[in-house]
Homo-oligomer: A and B are copies of this chain.
Amino acid sequence: MRSGRGADYDQAVVDLCGVLAYAELTAFERIAFDARMAPTIGAKAALAGMASAEFHHFRRLREHLHTELGVDAEEAMAPFVKPLDDFHDQTAPADWIESLVKAYVGDGIAVDFYREVAALVDEPTRSLVTEVLADTGHSEFVVEHVKAAIAADPSMAGRLALWARRLVGEALTQAQRVAVDRDDLARLIVGDVGGHVGDLAAVGRMFARLTEAHTRRMASLGLSS
């Protein structure tokens, strides 16, 4: 791919698609794995359907990397394998409800973040990223089940709020590691590549938006953030 916006911009776009592709592949795995803990066949089938949707997203990104950006998907994903695997290893849910909170709260922040970055890149990457980040029906399912679990056992709320804080902390740790390693992607975000005018105030506003959305999600589960 040659965007005409420079090699650093091109690399940032490849990084965005690469991290997102591996994130979708691991989302597939994790949701499929969590389906084993589902209390009913219906819940299990619902999770399996969501996992399949994530896999379909992965396939779209892999195709985009190959045909539009002219790079090998495995290579593009490689730098993000360790941070994403580490994140998931550090935040293995202890039970079904923790897995639902992780899917909703953790993926929620990730999706919001990827959407912010997508706004900084050109078509057709932007459209594709927006498309693969569309909610696969997970959110509604999760909110319903978590609220029902807390209603049945209100003492659960404290544990789940702590769990969500651990998820956010671990996500920030790994994001920081990626930012250090992937210079072009980090500089795209702070507005320092491809002729995009640097604007640290805009980055600050982005973090404020991410935080607000997170607080809203926690509230919708009935949890303090």
A135 to B29, CA, bound (A): 22
Contact with B along A13-41 (1 / 0, CB 8 A): 00000000010010011001101100011
**Known: A41-B74, A49-B59. Contact between A36 and B29, CB under 8 A?**
yes
A56 within 8 A of B: yes
Tally of chain A residues near chain B (CB < 8 A)? 26
B41 & A77 in contact (Cβ 8 Å cutoff) = yes
A45 & B33 in contact (Cβ 8 Å cutoff) = no
A48 to B62, CA, bound (A): 13
A110 within 8 A of B: no
B45 & A35 in contact (Cβ 8 Å cutoff) = no
CB distance from A61 to the nearest CB of B (A): 11
Specify which chain B residues have a CB less than 8 angstroms from the CB of A81 in the assembled complex. Answer: 41
State which of B36, B40, B52, B58 has its C-beta within 8 Å of the C-beta of A55. Answer: B52
A60 within 8 A of B: no
State which of B32, B40, B45, B78 has its C-beta within 8 Å of the C-beta of A62. Answer: B45
A111 within 8 A of B: no
Cβ contacts A to B, 6 pairs, < 8 Å: A25-B41, A25-B48, A29-B35, A32-B32, A41-B78, A49-B59
B51 & A32 in contact (Cβ 8 Å cutoff) = yes
